Each structure stands twice: as structure tokens, then as C-alpha cells.
Amino acid sequence: MKPANSVLSGLGTTVFEVMSRLAMQHDAVNLGQGFPDGRGPEDVLAKAAEAVMDGWNQYPPMLGLPELRKAVADHDRRFYGIEADWQTEVMVTTGATEALAACLLGLIEPGDEIVLFQPMYDAYAPMVRRAGGVPRYVTLTPPNWRLTEEMLAEAFSPRTKAVLLNNPLNPAAKLFSEAELRLVADYVQRFDAVAICDEVYEHIVFDGVAHIPLMTLPGMRERCLKIGSAGKTFSLTGWKVGYITAAQELLGPVAKAHQFLVFTTAPNLQSAVAFGLAKDAAYFDGLAAEMQAKRDRLTVGLTSIGLAVLPCEGTYFVNVDLSGTRFAGDDEGFCRYITETAGVAAIPVSAFYDADPVRDVARFCFSKQDAVLDEAVRRLKGHV
């Protein structure tokens, strides 16, 4: 038989699956894979159930249900002042993952360079390569994960087609500052590129700091594809409903990829997400406040047992700097060790780098019941 695709067949299993399996084997508290362990908002669940029983369960329109596309456009206007035409500038996807895949497949020509900021979500580099793109890395390092102009100057070239920017950044728990975003915007325009903006954690930001979509910076409205995820915004990660807002010229080719990737997304879940996006400010403020309290709870707990917790401005995650611990191995060894011996799973941050990884940071997910967070700290005590 002839060989399978060389980009994909050479890959290992994603670190989230590996650590979740290991956690199960050792009956560990799983603070590895990022997902909330609650039920999610009852009214959004009820809407989905109602839509399954009473609604349309056949193929919805390819770009998504009109009610959800309108809701996404309304959401973008309400939170960010973005004016988007729901009919031509919004598309519903099967999770942010499919949105990313459709953007990369729809926009990349073989040999195009794509600027990626590592640490990055582990799907990015393989998807870029499979689409024929060449990743060019900007490498960010703890504790501040700061982005400088020199880094961009090194990564951009006349072959740069796009940047893929995740903000707030998983796993670094960093919110890019306005100054950093301006730098990115400046380079994107200077090199006539576009920005694929993975903003799935847009509503999980802390300490009253506002999330700034790159799309809202001067000159960027026509150059950005803004991606959101109902999985994160409604704490329902299994739903896999995502959405893209972008100028028609950019969204057009992305929709062509979408039509042959999945064509569409479960209509009942789309209805429920449309309902959810229209919820009042109390819901969105409450989500951020709830996650911030969990961040604080886990931070206090981990600090109390002697771990050095890095700053966290958003996302589901806090990172621990292992360089000061007595553990001799790297982050991967540390995560395996605590899973097997303490019964608490975390994710090694080196898994989010394609080249020159940082090897002394471990990521812990705090979007869990308080009792689960407390139990994790209790178990870790004495092992770190």
C-alpha cells in the first residue's frame, strides 16, 4: 500500500487525550484537558431540548441558521461595536476547530507562510501544514509571554499570508495588550496579510480588563476573521458550535471549505446558542466572575503548597513555574508524576510548542467544581 498523508500519519495522539486517558487509569482528578464539569446554563439546555423535540432536525442552511447568524452579529455589535452583515459576514461552524480548519483550507496556497505564536493550541501547526502552509513561529516565554516588534520582524516575510492569533491565549492565560495588538495589526497591514483570530475565550477574562478583538483596531475590520465558540461561552464544550465573523471577501473562500468539510452544524444546538448569545449582561459578567473565583481558589491552593503560580488574565488555566520545585525532570515528567503518584492530572506546556519548547511550566485547568479544585490541592500536598 502507498503511504498515508505524511503530515498527519507522523503525529502522535493529542496531549489532551493522552493525559485524560492517564488520568482515568490512575483515577486522578483531571485538571488536564480544558472543560468545565458543570451542567452549563439550564435555560440554554432547555432551549436545545425544546428544539430537538419541536424544531427542525434536518439540514439547516450551509452558513448556519439565520437566527444564530443574527445573534452573532448582534453579539459582536453589543460587546465590541463591530458592525457585521449577518447574511454575508457571519458563518456558523462545527466548533472553533472547524472554523480554524475552514479558514486555513480556504485561504492558504501551498507555500504560504503563516505566523503562529507559541505556546499555541496543539491543532494549529498540523492544520497549517496539512493545508500546505509553512509555519513561522513567534516564541513567547514566561512569566509575561511578552510580544515585541523584533519577534514580528523576524517572523514576517513577503510570503506571509496570515497570522493565527489566539487571544486570550491558551495555555499562557495571557491577554495581549493593546500595544501588542497594535504591533500585530501594523505588521499584518504592512505585509498585506490577514489575521485568523481565535477568540474562543473572549468572555473568560478577569480583573475587569476588557478583551479587545484585533478586528476592532484601525485598518483591521477587512483583514480579520474573528472566531468564537459556544463551547467556551456557555460552558458546553461538547456542543461544538462555533462562529466566524469576517468581511465577505474573506468569508467567501472559507465558506467553500466549510461546505465540503461538514456543510453544516446541528440545528437544535444552533437555536439554543442563538438564545444564549442574546442573554443579558448578567450572564456574561457572571461567567467571568465565576471563572475568576475558580482561578483565585486554585491559585491560593497551589500557592499554599509551595507552587509558583504565574499570572492569569483569562482562559480556563493557571500555569505553574516548575523551575523552583525540587522535581528534577521536565514538565512532561512532572505531569506524569503527579498523575500517577498524587492522582492529579495537568498538561505539560511544552506540548504547545513546535520548536524550542519551554520545559518548566505545567498547566492546570480550574473550570471545575470547587470541591474538585480543593481535592486536587489536598492530593498534591506532600508530592510537590
CB of 242 to ligand GLN, least distance (A): 12
Nearer to ligand GLN (CB atom), residue 170 or residue 235: 170
The site partner of 95 among ligand PMP, ligand GLN, none (C-beta below 5 to 8 Å per kind) is ligand PMP
Nearer to ligand GLN (CB atom), residue 34 or residue 60: 34
Cα gap 176→58, rounded to integer Å: 41
Cα gap 173→205, rounded to integer Å: 9
For 123-156, give one letter per residue: b (16+ CB within 10 A) or e. ebbbbbbbbebbbbbbbbebeebebeeebbeebb
Residue owning grid cell 456543510: 263
> By the 8 A CB rule, do 107 and 267 touch?
no
Nearer to ligand GLN (CB atom), residue 94 or residue 160: 94
Nearer to ligand GLN (CB atom), residue 170 or residue 319: 170
**CA 367 and chain centroid, separation:** 14
Binding mask 30-49 for ligand PMP (x = CB under 6 A): ----x---------------
Q: Using the rule CB under 6 A, is 211 a contact of ligand PMP?
A: no
CB-closest chain residue to ligand GLN: 34
Cα distances from 60 to residues 88, 171, 254, 268, in angstroms, run 16, 34, 18, 9
CB of 176 to ligand GLN, least distance (A): 18
Residue from 32, 60, 231, 343 binding ligand PMP (CB under 6 A): 231
Q: Which residues in the 148-177 window bind ligand GLN by CB under 6 A?
A: 170
CB-closest chain residue to ligand PMP: 95
- Long-range contact set of residues 49-58: C-beta below 8 Å, sequence gap at least 24: 51/267, 51/268, 51/269, 51/271, 51/272, 52/268, 55/267, 55/268, 55/271, 56/267, 56/268, 57/267, 57/268, 58/267
Q: Which residues in the 8-47 window bind ligand GLN by CB under 6 A?
A: 14, 16, 33-34
Binding mask 100-139 for ligand PMP (x = CB under 6 A): ---------------------x------------------
DSSP 323: G
Residue 310, amino acid: L
Cα distances from 143 to residues 59, 121, 140, 312, 330, in angstroms, run 47, 18, 9, 10, 17
Q: Using the rule CB under 6 A, is 292 a contact of ligand GLN?
A: no
Q: Using the rule CB under 6 A, is 170 a contact of ligand PMP?
A: yes
Nearer to ligand GLN (CB atom), residue 142 or residue 231: 231
Residue owning grid cell 442552511: 61
Beta partners for 174?
169
Using CB under 6 A, list all residues that contact ligand PMP.
Answer: 34, 95-97, 121, 166, 170, 198, 200, 229, 231, 237, 240, 242
Using CB under 6 A, list all residues that contact ligand GLN.
Answer: 14, 16, 33-34, 170
